[in-house]
Amino acid sequence: MIPAPLTAFCDGCPLKICSVHGCAEERLRDLGLREGAQVEVIQNSDKLIVRLAGCRIGLRRDVAADIFATPLEL
Amino acid sequence: MRVALCGNPNVGKTTLFNQLTGLRQRVANFPGVTVERKAGTLAGAPHVEVVDLPGTYSLTPRSIDERIAYEVLVGRLEKEPDVVVCVLDAGNLERNLYVVTQVIDLGLPVIVALNMMDVAEENGLAVDASALENDLGVPVVPITASRGEGIDELKKCILNPPEPAQVYRWQLMDAVDAKIPALIKRLAEEAPHVKPMHLRMEVLRALAEEEALDAWRLGAPEFVNRIEALQEEFAKRGIAWRHAEVSGRYAWIGPIAQRASRRVSGPATLSDRIDAVFTHRVAGPLCFLLILVCVFEAVFSWAIPAMDLIEAGVAALAGIVHSVLPAGWVTDLLTDGIVIGVGNVVVFLPQILLLFFFLGIMEDSGYMARSAFIMDRLMKRVGLSGGSVLPLLSSYACAIPGIMAARTLDSERDRLITIMVAPLMSCSARLPVYTLFIAAFLPTGKLLGVFGYQGLAMFSMYMMGTIMAFVAAAILKRLVFKGPASYFVMELPPYRRPRLRQLFWRMYQRSKVFAVRAGKIILGCSIALWFLASFPRTEISPEATQIEELAIQERNREYAAAQALAPGRDLTVATDSLLLVDSTLANALDLTARADAKYTAALDSANIIRQSTQIRESAIGHLGRILEPVMQPLGFDWKISAGLVSAFAAREVIVSTLGIIYSVGDAEGGVALRDALKADKYPDGRPVFTPLVAMSLLVFFVFALQCMSTLAIARRETNTWRWPMVMWLYMTVLAYLASLLVYQGGLLLGFS
């Protein structure tokens, strides 16, 4: 399937990040939100909380909309 | 009539298909491919054929299953369906809606079947079907296919299909959108067989998908050339053309999904469960507010005993120095300049230590990141991010730790803006000034019998500063620090128990920085101010001398009277050393004691008059009078202007300066100073201080940057004098204009 922004996934979805864009791009990669990283959206409301290898990252929606991911095949 | 069921995989499409058709199904292959074509007739309506399409995430297909779904919908494989039922997982609206928007854009009548309502509910999600219906412009039927709920409603809807909804309601990014019409025209010329309805979609697909583009190479070579040229152009201009459609659609869907689904309860692990409260849209800010109120309450109330102790200690030290060293201006400099000056810094240490303690706990426990997360929504409006919340909050205690805390911000621009607006938050040094003027000039009554006017006034001082800080941030962002919007990404560490050792160590480190850096400056300023207030020396004050002479005469007269009362007795001995006290002697002694008390009081007031004369004739007094014409429009006379000059080093100094000018010798802003302020009159009999003047002065204090230490810290943190100077200028101008507005506006409205 084609990648969708993180904002499109529901809570608890295991995902794999495909691409990262936008002004926060480098910062996101710094935080470990880079292509190929496996993440999980924990909270998806006015902002997002994403779990990444045991740590949690809070994102503004517009930032999360620049991260594209696909569901992880289990 | 043909109905197609379409939607993401695993949303219960097949379950719904079975419910709709009962057992009247035929399974075949789509022509030419080995993909199953499941079709059947609608139960109770044999003329309606239902086709279950393979699950697809989008109409920009990757897999063969997805391509089949796409080709059926555009009518390439067989005649296009009359109605499309899009099946959605109610628990995951946003991503499911993507394909719905694509189907809507095909111009087909669409019905949305909101499936798995039960699961969504179990997961604590409330989905509002009618909100979704309003936003999408297509009928939305909530169903639970597994239990057969809502199937009848859906059938009714299928039999009375809606009109096709309005297409392309989402926004493509402008740069890409501008190029689309020309490409549509080109494709229409080269490929006349494409339905006009599908042209736009085909163009978007060709732009984003290599495979889709390749498919046109034979049929429409010029179209392909133009697309490739455009792709090159976009790449040069740095436009994310490949994601243009996806982003555009999601930008439209996002808010729709947001409005339609509401999380009712939270997920499971401990940190998650805590976060479910602390980062909740509604509960989060409430918790934050509560914690804030507690912290500030603690910082203000717990610090008071320690502050009193320090003040008493400083005063005692000054007294000792005074008594040990010979009188003279060097001693005065030591006591009034240096000891009191250092005391002015040290006195804030308890508050700062406490603030650092609580901030430390918030930081170590992991709550700090959450507070930034919660407040981001508010901060975004003024162009800052959640990261600025704590620096700004710390500035309520003191702008210095606030400005230092701005270091944690990623974005240099956000950091500068935060530093620039932090001093607008009312710090604790403004509190004594607020207290004095509010207590002196505002009525003690209550509004609606609940809120005291004075308390409200105090609160509004804090609000004014805070609101102006946000306004200033927004303006700075627009005018001075232009650039791309700030973003907010922040790691939320797991909740942890704070370690005390670490906590105290950091408190010590930070307080040291404050005491040393700010201390140096305040010390320097205090000395400078002392000089300004003490020179040129005016030793002669005829008024004071006259009072002293009168006092001596008065005392001598009363002593004589007492002696006359008890002739021949020694009145200089202390009463308690006498064995025998008769009534005559007692009366006489009483008289002398009263005479002594009067004399001392007279000497004190002479002394204060001397100090007051000194200030009036000192450099600061002159400065005050020079400033008077400028400050007069704000309602300030030379005394207030002199006070403002002295307050430049540190705001609270104005209270003691006014105390000295008004000769009440009351540096604490107590009742005596209040009465003196109220009693003061211009030569023509108008009062100097009216409630309006007091308001004007208060407003001035809310906005003005009267704090050397803040400037010095800003200099250190920005590594240039430029920003501190800009900060001082804009805040002073702001304070002046605001006071002008209050005073002149007040006069116009007839207040006095």
* Shortest Cα–Cα distance, B720 to chain A (Å): 27
Cα atoms in the Cβ-side hemisphere of radius 13 Å centred on B152: 1
pLDDT at res. B260: 85
CATH topology of domain A4-71: SH3 type barrels. (2.30.30)
Hey, what amino acid is at B383?
G
Residues forming a β-bridge with B110: B84
Three-class SS state of A54: coil
More confident residue, B186 or B410: B186
Provide the 8-state DSSP code for B423: G
Q: Does pLDDT of B535 surpass 90?
A: no
Which chain A residue has the Cα nearest residue B253? A8
Q: For residue B527, how many other CB atoms are within 10 A of its CB? A: 17
Question: Which one has a higher pLDDT value, B175 or B405?
Answer: B175
Of B101 and B292, the one with more pLDDT: B101
Superfamily of domain B2-159: P-loop containing nucleotide triphosphate hydrolases (3.40.50.300)
Q: What is the pLDDT of residue B265?
A: 46
Helix %, strand %, coil % of chain B (to 5): 65, 10, 25
Question: How many Cβ pairs closer than 8 A exist between chain A and B?
Answer: 125
B451-452 and A47-52 beta bridge pairing: unpaired
Q: How confident is the model at residue B139, as a pLDDT?
A: 93
Q: What is the interface pTM, i.e. ipTM, of the complex?
A: 0.82
Cα B469 to its chain centre, rounded Å, is 8
Residue A22 and residue B281: Cβ atoms within 8 Å?
no
Average pLDDT over residues B432-439: 79
What does the pLDDT read at residue B420? 93
Q: Looking at mean pLDDT, say which of B125-129, B144-148, B283-287, B685-689 comes out highest.
A: B283-287
Give how far B491 is from chain A: nearest CA, Å.
4
Tell me the pLDDT tens digit for each residue of B16-29. 888 888 766 666 65
| Residue that wins the pLDDT comparison between B741 and B515 | B741
Q: Do A60 and B376 touch (CB under 8 A)?
A: yes
B489 and A56: CB-CB below 8 Å?
A: no
- Bridge partners (DSSP) of residue B222 are none
Q: What whole-number distance in Å separates Cα of residue B201 and Cα of residue B104?
A: 11
Instruction: Find the mean pLDDT for residues A41-48.
Output: 83
DSSP code of residue B707: B
pLDDT (0 to 100) of residue B521: 64
Q: Which residues of B touch A62 (CB under 8 A)?
A: 485, 487
According to the model, what pLDDT value does residue B410 have? 67
**Which of residues B459 and B221 earns the better pLDDT score?**
B221
**Which residues in chain A touch residue B60, judged by CB atoms under 8 angstroms apart?**
2
Tokens for B11, please give them.
């949303």
Closest CB to A2: pick one of B60, B279, B377.
B60
- Compare all CA atoms of chain A with the CA of B248 and give the residue at the minimum distance: A65
Chain B nearest CA to A21, separation (Å)? 9
- Nearest-by-Cβ selection for B58 from A2, A28, A49: A2
At residue B731, does pLDDT exceed 90?
A: yes
Express as a percent the part of chain B with pLDDT over 70.
88
Predicted confidence (pLDDT) at residue A24 exceeds the cutoff of 90: no
Pairing of strands B140-142, B110-115: parallel
Question: How are the residues of chain A apportioned to helix, strand and coil, as percentages rounded to the nearest 5?
Answer: 20, 45, 40
- Report helix, strand or coil for B85: strand
Average pLDDT of chain B, as a whole number: 81
**Which pLDDT score is estimated for B224?**
92
Highest mean pLDDT among B474-488, B680-694, B721-735: B721-735
The pLDDT-based confidence of B63 (bands split at 50, 70, 90) is low
Structure confidence at residue B5 (pLDDT): 93
Rounded to the nearest angstrom, the minimum Cα separation between B355 and chain A is 26
> Considering chain A, what percentage of its residues have pLDDT values greater than 70?
84
Q: Around B387, how many Cα atoms within 13 Å sit in the side-chain half-sphere?
A: 29
- The reported pLDDT for the residue numbered B666 is 45
Distance from CA of B58 to the nearest CA of A (A): 7
Q: What's chain A's Rg over C-alpha atoms? A: 11
Higher pLDDT, B485 or B326: B326
Query: Is B247's CB within 8 Å of A43's CB?
Result: no
Contact A6/A67 with Cβ under 8 angstroms? yes
Best of B489, B491, B495, B496 to disrupt the A interface (most A CBs within 10 Å) is B489
How far apart are the C-alpha atoms of B102 and B167, rounded to whole Å?
Answer: 9
Helix (H) or strand (E) holding B255: helix B244-260
- CA dist B444 and B10 (Å) reads 68
| pLDDT for B266 | 43
Least confident range from B160-169, B197-206, B356-365: namely B356-365
pLDDT digits (tens, 9 = 90+) for B443-500: 777 767 666 777 788 888 888 998 999 999 989 888 877 766 667 777 777 677 777 8
**pLDDT tens profile B114-168:** 987 777 776 667 888 888 999 999 999 999 887 788 999 999 999 998 888 888 8
pLDDT score for B112: 94
A60, B270, B710 from B283: Cα distances, Å = 18, 17, 35
From the list B279, B484, B487, which residue is nearest A63 (CB)?
B487
Is the confidence at residue B668, as pLDDT, over 50?
no
Long-range contacts of B14-17 (CB under 8 A, 24+ apart): B14/B38, B14/B52, B15/B145, B15/B146, B16/B85, B16/B87, B16/B113, B16/B115, B16/B143, B16/B145, B16/B151, B16/B154, B17/B50, B17/B52
Q: Which of B363-377, B444-458, B466-480, B567-581 has the lowest mean pLDDT?
A: B567-581
Point out the residue among B57, B258, B377 whose CB comes nearest to the CB of A1. B57
Test A43 with B251 for CB contact under 8 angstroms: no
Least confident of B17-21, B287-291, B311-315: B311-315
Select the residue of B250, B492, B494 nearest A57 (Cβ to Cβ): B492
- Write out pLDDT tens, residues B66-97: 778 888 898 888 888 999 999 998 877 877 88
B48 vs A13, residue with greater confidence:
B48
Cβ distance of B251 and A56 shorter than 8 Å: no
The ranges assigned to domains in chain A are 4-71
As annotated, the residues of chain B forming the CATH 3.40.50.300 domain(s) are 2-159
Identify the DSSP state of B91. Answer: G
Q: A18 CB near a chain B CB, below 8 Å?
A: no
CA B525 to chain centroid, in Å, comes to: 31
* C-beta atoms surrounding B605 within 10 Å: 17
Check whether B589 has a pLDDT greater than 90.
Answer: no
pLDDT category, B225, cuts 50, 70, 90?
very high
| A26 contact B CB<8A | no
Residue keyed to tokens 């004095």: B436
